[in-house]
Structure 1
Amino acid sequence: MTKAQRYFMEIKDKRVAFIGTGVSHLELIKLFLSKGIRCVVCDKKTEDEFDELIYEELSAKGCEFSLGEHYLDIIFNCDIVFRTPGMYYNDETITKARKAGVAITSEMETFFDLCPCKIYGVTGSDGKTTTTTLISEMLKAEGKRVHIGGNIGKALLPIVETMSDSDVAVVELSSFQLISMRQSPNVAAITNITPNHLNVHGTMEEYIGAKANLIAHQNGYSRTVLNEDNEETIKLADLVRGKLVTFSLKHPVQTGTYLNDDGMLCYTEKGRTTEIVHKDDIRIPGIHNVANYLTAIAAVWGEVSIQSIVQVAKNFGGVEHRIEFVREIDGV
């Protein structure tokens, strides 16, 4: 019996609340309902405002609803609550429920508990979506079966039962997801840390603490990628329990990736440096994307061949809705 199968068997008599029906929850709710688990959707939208098709579909499957102003009151009568990343972990009602013995979790936390395969995790104030995608593309080019999710793409918990131990999961994690995480990925990369979301986190210290959760629970066999050019990120080096790999656009590093004076992206370790690809051969434009490649290469080094890395660099056209080539007019 897999961990996922055991989990669903153990909670089959529980009442589970889901806050919101966004990308990370809708398929998850359907999965739980298919397992015969009692589910409650909690949403501050009123019944008139709630999506009629979703309401009818979930109702037909036996789902309960708690909608409108007091939508969270019902969680005190539930055993487990899945909060959406948009629901602040230290919300007053969530905190009261947790203290009352209700299990507060999230799609990504539970996925980490149940995932049977290696996990690559990426966070940062900028560049995390592109870096996450690059890692997944490099692993795919190497022939791996890759599942990409988290703050990008789709929820992974609904498909965890279809995963095998030879697969790879690549997840982008925001500070809102990380703040309550008590597990870290096998390979963790932090692109950078700059002031962000302080209207929610309140202090820079809480924001940095959330980001640090990506690496705080790793073990001695883990790999951690940090940005040497970003002061707040490299300060986290003391938290690293496994192998520390760094990257820099400005200077050579002891172990990791850097951009040399000739414009080559290099990997160096134990005094041996390998030139990988020239920055001008990277299809997506901008020095920030060179940094994203340095991060991704540092994360997959040893698992992905240079040939696969170069293939992605020359052919990957970028993440949708990011900087994309449209057309050339008069040489521009």
Structure 2
Amino acid sequence: MTARKVMGNNTEYLNSYKSKSIGFVGAGISNMPILRLFLEEGITVTLRDKKSIDSIKNYEELLEKGVTFRTGEDYLSDIYEDIIFLSPALRPDFPEFLSAKERGTLITTELEEFLKHCPCTTIGITGSDGKTTTSTLCAKLLEASGKKVYLGGNIGENLFVKLSEISKSDFAVIEISSFQLMKMSRQPTISIITNVSPNHLDWHTGMDEYVFAKKRILSPSQTRNVLNGDDETTLSFKGENSVLFGKSEKNDFRFDDEGIRFGGELLLKDEDILLPGIHNRANYSAAIAAVYPFITKEAIHSVAKSFGGVEHRIELVREKDGVTYYNSSIDSSPTRTAAALNSFKEKLIVIAGGYDKNIPLEPLGELFERKAKAVILMGNTGPKIEKILCDVKYSGTVIKATDMADAVKKASSLASEGDKVILSPAAASFDLYPNFMCRGKDFKEKVNEL
């Protein structure tokens, strides 16, 4: 692992960029705060984006401030900058990036540069499922123990622009996707891999590359890395500095019907955990394992009793006419949907379907037979799921919907008093929405309009 420079509360880290020409590829939330910071510091900036210039927010203001634009189909031509910041969604092996790298351009990202300069303990969380909840729990446990915490990466704030505020005694909690890991050569002080199952195979070249990306979060020099001991893939990553969590007896931090244990000690009673679902017991175990040296037992109990979850994850929307509606738009894979549905004792009315990530959907057949009294299908994967349900002779009701408004209307018409309706797509959102947050927001709006 590359040694980090201890800086304190100043902007010294910006000096290494002031003599360079900087390019940003992608006008998204990862790049734009840094671009604006660099403009304030008088740094030469180019913004490259495949979209047309007039579709970029506040482009006229940026032009006035001296930003050079390269947009449209040729946005990657003639890369001349000293440093290029890539947005998370871009693969690092585009021919244009490889050629620029050969010419001496540094190809980097927000998180790579943050880890290069960050003076404090960093905790990185990745995995196929549970990243956001586990990241949030890490942050809340530390905060409840009196620590100053910065939460970023896939969630929270842009961490690079916060570097001037961060001191050595603080903590940075970072949710990291496989996309981001493919472009990172530095690792956090502490890492967590929640689990590994097929995901994002539309972006990765295959499962081998996806697993390789997840493993990149690990380093032999880390203080500790926290691994799911019940997951064969993550268990295969085990090293001398590994700490295991899970349900089986072999794990250092484990959960059972009574609660969460460390060794023989019951740290947290199950009845004291507000957040529902066995998958959230795993998330708690992972988070506690990562931050255990820095937190108090009082913090563990206070967070467990007060934290009800994060938005779009089995989020209670409302109850109307005796029917309860839940938003779990984050469920972008069959494993996430399984975790959500298994959190309930009864069968649910499930709204599913979305963007096709080329991951296996067959497990949904058995799952929906067991946990869904009806399935309302929409999006690109709707027909695939319908065929799977037909193949397993699904005994419930299957209904097709054209969009979210139609799906919510049909779910409401189908539901009786006491029923529960959940949006749990088992797919990404990109066929109809920019991201899962927009999808979840649309679902909540349609439910509240009933």
Which residue does the alignment assign to 2:7? 2
How many residues align? The count is 317
1:14 aligns with 2:12: no
Which residue does the alignment assign to 2:299? 308
Q: Take 2:45 and 2:78, find their aligned partners in 1: how far apart are those partners?
A: 11
Which residue does the alignment assign to 2:70? 66
Taking only aligned residues, the RMSD between alpha carbons, in angstroms, comes to: 1.8
Q: Take 2:318 and 2:274, find their aligned partners in 1: how far apart are those partners?
A: 14
2:7 and 2:167 in contact (8 A); partners too: no
1:284 and 1:324 in contact (8 A); partners too: no
Q: TM-score, normalised by structure 2?
A: 0.67
Q: Which has the larger radius of gyration?
A: 2
Q: 1:134 aligns with which of 119, 132, 137?
A: 137
1:185 and 1:218 in contact (8 A); partners too: no
1:23 and 1:154 in contact (8 A); partners too: no
Alpha-carbon deviations, 1:189-242, whole Å to 9, x = none? 000011111221112111111111111x341x51110001111111111xx35x
Alpha-carbon deviations, 1:260-317, whole Å to 9, x = none? 3x4221012xxxx210112232112111111101111111112111110111111011
2:125 and 2:192 in contact (8 A); partners too: yes
Q: Take 1:248 and 1:189, find their aligned partners in 2: how far apart are those partners?
A: 13
- Counterparts of 1:19-168 in structure 2, within 5 Å, are 19-51=25-57, 54-75=58-79, 77-168=80-171
Which residue does the alignment assign to 2:255? 259
2:53 and 2:69 in contact (8 A); partners too: no
Q: Take 1:143 and 1:74, find their aligned partners in 2: how far apart are those partners?
A: 49
1:259 and 1:266 in contact (8 A); partners too: yes
Q: Take 2:243 and 2:7, find their aligned partners in 1: how far apart are those partners?
A: 33
Q: How far did residue 47 of structure 1 move?
A: 2.1
Which residue does the alignment assign to 2:205? 202
Q: Against the structure 1 CA distance between its residues 208 and 184, is the aligned structure 2 distance closer, same or farther, given a 3 Å change threshold?
A: same
- Counterparts of 1:201-280 in structure 2, within 5 Å, are 201-215=204-218, 217-219=219-221, 222-237=223-238, 240=239, 243-249=241-247, 251-253=248-250, 256-260=252-256, 262-268=257-263, 273-280=264-271
Which residue does the alignment assign to 1:189? 192
Q: Against the structure 1 CA distance between its residues 218 and 181, is the aligned structure 2 distance closer, same or farther, given a 3 Å change threshold?
A: farther
Structure 1: segments with no counterpart, 5+ residues: none
Structure 2: segments with no counterpart, 5+ residues: 1-5, 323-416, 420-450
Q: Take 1:96 and 1:198, find their aligned partners in 2: how far apart are those partners?
A: 26
Q: Take 1:91 and 1:142, find their aligned partners in 2: how far apart are those partners?
A: 44
Q: Take 1:230 and 1:124, find their aligned partners in 2: how far apart are those partners?
A: 11
1:98 and 1:104 in contact (8 A); partners too: yes
Q: How far did residue 57 of structure 1 move?
A: 2.4
Q: TM-score, normalised by structure 1?
A: 0.91
Q: How far did residue 180 of structure 1 move?
A: 2.2
Percent pairwise identity: 42
Q: How far did residue 39 of structure 1 move?
A: 0.3
